[in-house]
Structure 1
């Protein structure tokens, strides 16, 4: 509920503070007194798009502050939480407009973006008037209004979930069909490549092993002859024979040499041991270099085959095994693709059927609610002196979507037999006001916490019809807060709280002011609305009668 509004240096207002109450609040005043300025200022602090030039002439900046009470279940709390604001029972909005056009907004003293402000304001205030093209007159919102009237939230959630499931099934099928088409386009390549790779059977790390073996065999062929000659030189036909002869000769001579040959004999023994080790190592090396010449040819052929196939597929030789697995998997997908596609098509058909069932159930609920809304509108229009008017909620099929497969539009005919058409095109000004009021009465949930503002919705009606409009507004305000800008004395008399908008000229400065009216002042204001500038005793008497109800 809107509790108060503080306006500083906006248009014709220099400083104004208002406190509003629950129930029916009425604002009256002569044409041009500034009632629209009040609504412009409220729209400004709520983030609505409006006049470009709002700052009062000569002021550096204009500022509007509005404060609201938020009930525990108020939908504005969810908007605040989502935007990261602390939620309190009192909500304070403040917005500043500098003379050069810069606008800055705060929510509970924290800077806020215009987008957050507008989303929040949609849960706080709703404005209705003759040019209500962004509200009840906009056919784009009629389906949403009907669903809210019907309480279709659960059915809408089911339809939305079914639509998303159907869309995901369709996307999965489309991706699979595209992938299968791509595989079919390269089927010949896949079969040939897999055949080549399966025939070669490459293994990870095989290239390095073969390359090392090849280098070893190539090196062995070059050095084996030298190693063999070295082995011969170390053996019995080489160095070993003479050294053994020398050892035997020294052993024979040693007993007669008085110890002079002991050291040479020991050194020779060590040399023979080292020579034996050298001979054994050389023999082992020679054995290791022993290979079949055909093996070198086989290794080279295998190595060249691996590297050639790797170049062909633009991968490293060690990646050939993984490539074979990948291509084999794609070939298997191709061979099983038709079966997979059939399964995905069946899944899409099931998702289509589930969506159709959910959409049909929602459509049935909407048609049932449409009948109830039409009946409720007939009951509301009769007190508004439009008992012969026909209101009809038309539901027509449309292409399915996340909110169902129905198009909803509110249509009217002002008299039986007259052609029906869109609400905003068929009704005249006064009729349109009453249609909008009746529709709002039928659609409004008093627990939403919205403050409803009606801007001269009673324009074009008078007498008993104006009284009926006022009584419907009073009924609507019984469980909510309603602000009405009106020129109708019948409507003004039914208000629970009354303000008069006045224009004053002091020197060369024109300002607007809003004055709360007590009982006596209300009599004079309603009398002025009845009789004009000259208030007579007869007008005051009539005003007292209206105010008495």
Structure 2
């Protein structure tokens, strides 16, 4: 339920606040006073397009704020979107700048306008000329019938239809790509077989390159190593040639003698001993290195052949053996995926067949429930239309078979006939604006039980009618308001007389600026406004008497 609506800088409204309650609320005022601006403001909270045109001249922005009492499911949705709920009270806001930038706030959290519209759309509906147009569409007519029939299988059907559409799309894609997948799988198998045949090891290419370079440079390496060995250990054919080991040995002996005479030289002697051992170790290692430098032509040839095999792989699958191995791992995983796609095709085909059977069964049940509900709904709406001064009107749902779609396998069209003897024809083609308004009201009255606690806003529901018909419209709005909150913008006193609360919109002008103000009428003020609505004058005694009589009649009928 909408508790309050505040408009600031919105169109001709400079500042207005409506404190609303349950029941029926009427908004009246002279033509052009700005009544529809209240509805337009509420429309902003329901996602209506906001542009600079809604901002009052000279104001930086237009602001519409609504305070709502919301049920727990709606409160949960608000919290999911990051908003806060104070008890069961929700504050919503829509702001449009003079530059046309729009902002929506839900429970204190900034949200997209579509999110605000989705949430408030669950608890409020505006019925205006646009709704009359929507009622002419088959989609809206189906929604109306489903709101009454409430087929239990419909939610399951929609979920299955969504799954079936996704499965069919994936199946079509996999089947279209099957030849490309087969070619890719063959290519991967060939590559993996080639790599497996060579069996490269991590880092093998680098190790072989180093080994081959060593084998090729063997003579140079032996010469250099032999020179180092001779310098360290001396020449084998010249025992008198100096060597590093012999020279260090002489130095060690001299320092040992020196340390025997001077303790200060002991550290030098110790270091000489250490250096001698290091020199001896190095000399041994150099000798071992020289001994290992043995020419091996067979090994050199084997290394060359192995490097050639690895090069064939690195030309195709990577710049190094490690990259080739990485390609092999990724390709093996991709091959599993490709093979699995063929299995997935089989699974999808079976699932689509299962879903087709389920959809067909559910669609048949939904269609049966719709046909059963349509007969009852037609009868009840026709009865309401008779009370709305359309005694010969007939409303009929034409339900025919159609292909499976998101909402079943029915083609639904609402047919209407206003006069006896005329063949029912599509509602949007044969009904006048006034007839559409009454059809819409009759449907809402019948469907009210399905939307208890909802907020309904009717704009121009009494268009094209008057007199006794206006009384019936008022009576039905009041009846609808016993289960829901109803706000009606009306020009008929017969409708406004049934209201529990009555606001009047008045226009004032300074000659340069026009402003609309909204005021709640007291019980004493209502007769004058009703008299003005009936006769154009609020001061005549006869008009006032008629207004008082009308209010009394409405009150008595409301008590029945």
Q: If the TM-score is normalised by the length of the shorter chain, which range does it land in? A: 0.7 to 0.9
Provide, for residues 50-100 of structure 1, a one-character-per-residue CA deviation record: whole Å limited to 9, x for no partner.
Answer: 78545556x54575554434144363x345323322112334445566666
Deviation larger for 36-45 or 506-515: 506-515
Partner of 2:484: 480
Task: Summarize the alignment of residues 52-131 of structure 1 with structure 2, pairs less than 5 Å apart.
Answer: 53-54=53-54, 59-60=58-59, 66-73=65-72, 75=74, 77-88=75-86, 89-93=88-92, 114-131=113-130
Task: Summarize the alignment of residues 407-486 of structure 1 with structure 2, pairs less than 5 Å apart.
Answer: 407-415=411-419, 417-445=421-449, 449-486=453-490
Partner of 1:388: 392
* Cα shift at 1:362: 4.0
Q: Is the 8 A contact 1:60 1:99 kept in 2?
A: yes
* Cα shift at 1:430: 2.1
Name the CA shift for 1:506/1:310 in 2 (closer, same or farther; >3 Å).
closer
Counterpart secondary structure, 1:204: coil
Name the CA shift for 1:316/1:22 in 2 (closer, same or farther; >3 Å).
same
Equivalent in 379, 384, 393 of residue 383 of structure 2: 379
* Cα shift at 1:473: 0.9
Aligned-partner Cα distance in 2 for 1:97–1:332: 55
Partner of 2:2: 2
Q: Is the 8 A contact 1:224 1:289 kept in 2?
A: yes
Counterpart secondary structure, 2:156: helix
Does residue 304 in structure 1 map to residue 304 in structure 2?
Answer: no
* Cα shift at 1:122: 2.5
Aligned-partner Cα distance in 2 for 1:120–1:452: 15
* Cα shift at 1:22: 1.6
Provide, for residues 151-195 of structure 1, a one-character-per-residue CA deviation record: whole Å limited to 9, x for no partner.
Answer: 35x644423432343344335434544554224335765565455
Partner of 2:26: 26
Partner of 1:495: 499
Aligned-partner Cα distance in 2 for 1:239–1:46: 109
Name the CA shift for 1:223/1:20 in 2 (closer, same or farther; >3 Å).
closer
Provide, for residues 302-349 of structure 1, a one-character-per-residue CA deviation record: whole Å limited to 9, x for no partner.
Answer: 221211332133442344455456666767877887666444433443
Stretches of structure 1 lacking an aligned partner (at least 5 in a row): 241-273
Partner of 2:212: 214
Q: Is the 8 A contact 1:74 1:449 kept in 2?
A: no
* Cα shift at 1:150: 3.1
Partner of 1:248: none
Provide, for residues 224-275 of structure 1, a one-character-per-residue CA deviation record: whole Å limited to 9, x for no partner.
Answer: 79999999xx99x9679xxxxxxxxxxxxxxxxxxxxxxxxxxxxxxxxx9x
Counterpart secondary structure, 1:411: strand
Provide, for residues 472-504 of structure 1, a one-character-per-residue CA deviation record: whole Å limited to 9, x for no partner.
Answer: 111101112212222323222222223344445
Q: Is the 8 A contact 2:531 2:543 kept in 1?
A: yes
Deviation larger for 434-443 or 406-415: 406-415
Deviation larger for 95-104 or 474-483: 95-104
Does residue 36 in structure 1 map to residue 40 in structure 2?
Answer: no
Aligned-partner Cα distance in 2 for 1:8–1:296: 92
Stretches of structure 2 lacking an aligned partner (at least 5 in a row): 240-277, 554-560
* Cα shift at 1:24: 1.5
Name the CA shift for 1:283/1:355 in 2 (closer, same or farther; >3 Å).
farther
Q: Is the 8 A contact 1:3 1:21 kept in 2?
A: yes
Deviation larger for 305-314 or 39-48: 39-48
Name the CA shift for 1:25/1:220 in 2 (closer, same or farther; >3 Å).
same
Q: Is the 8 A contact 1:455 1:485 kept in 2?
A: yes
Does residue 161 in structure 1 map to residue 159 in structure 2?
Answer: yes
Query: Computing the radius of gyration over CA atoms, which structure comes out larger, 1 or 2?
Result: 1
Aligned-partner Cα distance in 2 for 1:277–1:71: 91
- Report the number of matched residues: 516
Q: Is the 8 A contact 2:124 2:454 kept in 1?
A: yes
Provide, for residues 128-154 of structure 1, a one-character-per-residue CA deviation record: whole Å limited to 9, x for no partner.
Answer: 1344257544444343443333335x6
Task: Summarize the alignment of residues 183-222 of structure 1 with structure 2, pairs less than 5 Å apart.
Answer: 183-185=181-183, 189=187, 192-220=190-218
Provide, for residues 105-134 of structure 1, a one-character-per-residue CA deviation record: whole Å limited to 9, x for no partner.
Answer: 666666666445444443454221344257
Does residue 350 in structure 1 map to residue 354 in structure 2?
Answer: yes
Provide, for residues 382-435 of structure 1, a one-character-per-residue CA deviation record: whole Å limited to 9, x for no partner.
Answer: 322334322233445555455444444433232455344443332112211110
Partner of 2:142: 143
* Cα shift at 1:437: 0.3
Provide, for residues 185-208 of structure 1, a one-character-per-residue CA deviation record: whole Å limited to 9, x for no partner.
Answer: 357655654554344333334334
Counterpart secondary structure, 2:537: coil
Q: Is the 8 A contact 2:4 2:68 kept in 1?
A: no
Equivalent in 511, 518, 522 of residue 526 of structure 2: 522
Partner of 1:48: 48
Provide, for residues 423-482 of structure 1, a one-character-per-residue CA deviation record: whole Å limited to 9, x for no partner.
Answer: 333211221111010111223357554321212212222333222222111110111221
C-alpha RMSD of matched pairs (Å):
4.6
Deviation larger for 518-527 or 48-57: 48-57
Provide, for residues 337-380 of structure 1, a one-character-per-residue CA deviation record: whole Å limited to 9, x for no partner.
Answer: 76664444334433444444444444444444434433332332
Name the CA shift for 1:209/1:74 in 2 (closer, same or farther; >3 Å).
closer
Counterpart secondary structure, 1:479: coil
Q: Is the 8 A contact 1:65 1:92 kept in 2?
A: no
Aligned-partner Cα distance in 1 for 2:400–2:528: 52
Q: Is the 8 A contact 2:28 2:505 kept in 1?
A: yes
Aligned-partner Cα distance in 2 for 1:505–1:338: 76
Name the CA shift for 1:72/1:199 in 2 (closer, same or farther; >3 Å).
closer
